[in-house]
Amino acid sequence: MASTGYNTGVWLTGNEASGTNYTAGGSALGSKAFAIDTGSSSICFTAANVSWTTVTVTAVFGDFVYDNTITAGTVAKQGLCFNYFGGSQSVTAGTFTIQWATPGGGAVTAVFNITV
C-alpha cells in the first residue's frame, strides 16, 4: 500500500514533471464531485479544470490525483487515480490545462470511471 500515495513508490517527486512556473505536488482541485453517468452506468469523478500559465514542462505523461488532507495512517496523501494523457505532452512558455470530463458530456473522450 505504501506505493499508492503521493511522494512514495513510483510517485516520487523525482518522477514528477518540473519546469518554470510549475510547483511540485500540483494544484488543489476545486469543485470535486462524484456523479452517476446513467449512459454508461458508471460512477464518475470530476473537478474544475486546472491550468498553469506561462509554464514550461516537458515529458508529462499524466496526472496523479491524491488526497492531500490524509497526513497519517497507512498511506499519507492517498492516491485516487492516475490519468494517462496518451503519451508525452510538453508546453514551452504557454498554458498547460487539465480539463476534466463532464459525465454524460457526449464528446468527452476520457472520464475517470468506476463501473458498478
Phi-psi region of 14 (alpha: psi -120 to 50; beta: other; left: phi over 0): alpha
24 grid coordinates: 511540485
82: how many CB neighbours lie within 10 A of its CB?
A: 14
Residue 67 to residues 13, 40, 103: CA-CA distances in angstroms?
16, 26, 21
Per-residue pLDDT tens digits for 24-45: 888 888 888 887 777 777 777 7
pTM of the model: 0.74
The predicted model gives 72-99 an average pLDDT of 85
Q: What is the pLDDT of residue 68?
A: 87
Give the total residue count for the chain: 116
CA dihedral 56, 19, 22, 4 (to 10 degrees): 120
Percent of the chain with pLDDT strictly greater than 90: 3
